[in-house]
Amino acid sequence: MSAPLKGFDYDKLLHRPFAPIEQTYTAKDSILYALGVGLGRDPMDRKELPFVYENGQKTLPTQAVVLGYPGFWVKEPDTGIVWQKVLHASQSLQVHRPIPASATVVGRTRITAILDKGPGVGALILTERTVTDQASGELLATVSQASMARGNGGFGGASGPSPAAVKLPESAPERHCDLPTSPSQALLYRLSGDWNPLHADPDVATAGGFARPILHGLCTYGVVGHALLKSLCDYDSARLKRLDARFTSPVYPGETIRTEIWGARGQVLFRATALERGVVVLNNGLAMID
């Protein structure tokens, strides 16, 4: 295959080896993640307090997306990826067992497909990561994501098949939940392990085509997970078993995220908008709730 940019090798990238990531995290790390997605804004809210306080601590199911994470590997020179133009396209999470407040876990990542969406769109890179409890050997979660490498399309590969999108109802949502983000939210969230400078450095954001640093897609994803726990689960985190969504537009820190919801149990559908701009930021959402 011909490569659009020097260093981009489809076969080499598809079979790129990832060393298992052993990560020991503490109650403090779990609190930091919860704060990073916006819990604890009201310190008197007794439903949220257990997620940000070590006495009787709870964890958010979406915390699994930052566990055993291999780092911002697309920035490595040998990938040939134009990392400044990489955007998170979609995210899927299956929670097999409750996420402990502290543990040692092992993350094992692999690239499952690379799709050529054309030189004007990019290369869609699909990855999967399993997160296993080291002590018990139990599988805690399976984390899958798609990233669009906007500077690497047109390499001559297959364009599909792409993962099918969930179709949302045409009827009005049955309920919604509005949760604010703070102007410094991205700076706090990145402390959970995603060091992409796109979310902190104004110069990198400008180079990527944005007026200012944007919120991590996975932070938006965590805010939506919080909205579902709040609206449907009464903060019982064990009830949220799956969370899939497509990222359709960035959120700017300080905006309010409105999660619109269809259903209450079993298969639940959702989307999210940046309320101030009326822009859909997460779409085609599917959650499984016990």
Q: What is the CATH number of the domain that holds 254?
A: 3.10.129.10
> Is the pLDDT higher at 195 or at 108?
108
Q: Is the pLDDT score of 205 beyond 60?
A: yes
Average pLDDT over residues 209-237: 96
Single out the catalytic residue among 29, 88, 116, 199. 199
Confidence of residue 88 (pLDDT cuts 50, 70, 90): confident
4 is a domain residue: no
Nearest to 217 by CA among 190, 183, 179: 190
Nearest to 237 by CA among 7, 32, 34: 34
Cα distances (angstroms) measured from residue 101 to each of 54, 56, 227, 230, 248: 9, 10, 20, 19, 31
Single out the catalytic residue among 116, 194, 226, 244. 194
Confidence of residue 85 (pLDDT cuts 50, 70, 90): confident
39 is a domain residue: yes
Does 29 qualify as catalytic in the annotation?
no
What is the pLDDT at residue 1?
Answer: 42
Confidence of residue 2 (pLDDT cuts 50, 70, 90): very low
Q: Is the pLDDT score of 67 beyond 60?
A: yes
Average pLDDT over residues 225-235: 98
Asked if 266 contacts 239 with a C-beta cutoff of 8 angstroms, the reply is no
User: Rounded CA gap, 281 and 89, in Å?
Assistant: 11
What is the pLDDT at residue 3?
Answer: 41
pLDDT (tens digit, 9 = 90+) per residue, 132-161? Answer: 999 999 999 999 999 999 999 999 899 988
281 is a domain residue: yes
Centre a 10 Å sphere on the Cβ of residue 286 and count the other Cβ atoms it contains: 17
Q: How many domains does the chain fold into?
A: 1
Average pLDDT, the chain: 94
Instruction: Give the range among 66-75, 92-101, 126-135 with minimum mean pLDDT.
Output: 66-75
Nearest to 269 by CA among 232, 237, 223, 235: 232
Look up tokens 């859909």; give the residue: 280
Q: Is the pLDDT score of 4 beyond 60?
A: no
192 is a domain residue: yes
What is the pLDDT at residue 181?
Answer: 98
pTM: 0.91
What is the pLDDT at residue 6?
Answer: 59
124 is a domain residue: yes
Does 9 qualify as catalytic in the annotation?
no
Helix 27-36 and helix 217-232, axial crossing angle in degrees, nearest 10: 90
User: Rounded CA gap, 54 and 51, in Å?
Assistant: 8
Q: Is the pLDDT score of 7 beyond 80?
A: no
What is the pLDDT at residue 189?
Answer: 97
5 is a domain residue: no
194 is a domain residue: yes
Average pLDDT over residues 75-96: 92
2 is a domain residue: no
Asked if 99 contacts 241 with a C-beta cutoff of 8 angstroms, the reply is no
Tokens encoding 275:
């309320």
What is the pLDDT at residue 71?
Answer: 87
- Domain region containing 75: 10-289
Centre a 10 Å sphere on the Cβ of residue 290 and count the other Cβ atoms it contains: 10
